[in-house]
Structure formats: structure tokens, C-alpha cells
Amino acid sequence: MNEPKKKSWKLFGKLNIIDLLIILVLIVAAVVLATRTLSSQGVTVNAQHVRVHYYGFNAIRNYVPENFTVGDPVTQYDTNLDLGTLNEFSYIPSYYWVYDYNRGELVKVESEFESFIQFTSDCYGKLDETGLTIGSTTFVVGGNYYFNVGPTRAGYQISGFELLDD
């Protein structure tokens, strides 16, 4: 007797439609997993190269900038979110304005143990009108944050963003 031939569902060669669907599902799963992993590590999809400008929002102890080295990592201290590397920095002694009753005017008095700090870091994130987004965190101009710069931790305010490339 002649038995009817079964359809093999072969698309071409030894690959059938079921195999093709399984491969497609695996590829989609790998892309989703990679996107979530990179996002949790602070890498933003379509990231831009951005320079962030900071300054110390309070006078900072002198040992902080004395321990800075260009190339130090910059991270947000509570989340350890990567904000790139220290590009450049400067600091000057901090001072206070005190009223001098003898002269009848305000005079500048230098603080012996504290400095005003400015620095920049280069990082990757998504810059738009709301601020710089890295991972799920958005940083804004004027925002006060605590950052680790190399071996130190202090409070800084973001004073500006500069897009380095498009």
C-alpha cells in the first residue's frame, strides 16, 4: 500500500519552521537581557559623550583635592553609579566674610583647613533639556550630590553640562 507522505515542515534544508521560531525567541531574549544588564550598569542606550562641571557646594577639607588624580573614577556614593573619570580640577583656599568693627566693613578671612573645588568629569549618558540621564538616574544643573572622586567623598553641585560629540 501507498502511505500518504507526511509534511515535514522543513523550510529549507534541515531547518524547519519550529527551529526558526526557537532561534528567533532566543535572539530576542538575549537582546532584552543585554539591554537590561547594560542599563543596570549605568550605560544608557544611545549614550552621548558629556563633560560634567562640578564645584564643592560647601568648603571642603584640604585633604580632598590633595588626593585627586586626573583619571580617578567619579561615582555617586550611595548608588555607585559611574560618572566617568576626573578630567581636570582646581582648588583655592576658602574664605569667609567677617564684619570688622574697627574698619567698619566686611573683610575676607581665609579658612586654614578648607578649599573651594571645581572639577570636570567625562562620562556617557543621555543629555536633554531635563538633565543628564545615566541608567535610571537624572542629574540636573544646580543639583547637590555626594560623589566619590578617587579615594575621597564630598558634596558637590553640578554647574553645567557640555556635549563633547553628537
pLDDT value for 155: 84
- Is this structure's pTM higher than 0.75? no
Where do we find the cell 557640555? 162
Give the lowest-confidence range in 20-29, 98-107, 153-162.
Answer: 20-29
Q: What are the domain boundaries of the chain?
A: 10-39, 44-163
pLDDT value for 45: 58
pLDDT value for 165: 77
Q: Round to whole Å and give the CA distance between 60 and 52.
A: 19
Span 116-122, average pLDDT: 89
Q: Round to whole Å and give the CA distance between 98 and 119.
A: 28
- Higher-confidence residue of 64 and 86: namely 86
pLDDT tier at 6 (50, 70, 90 boundaries)?
low
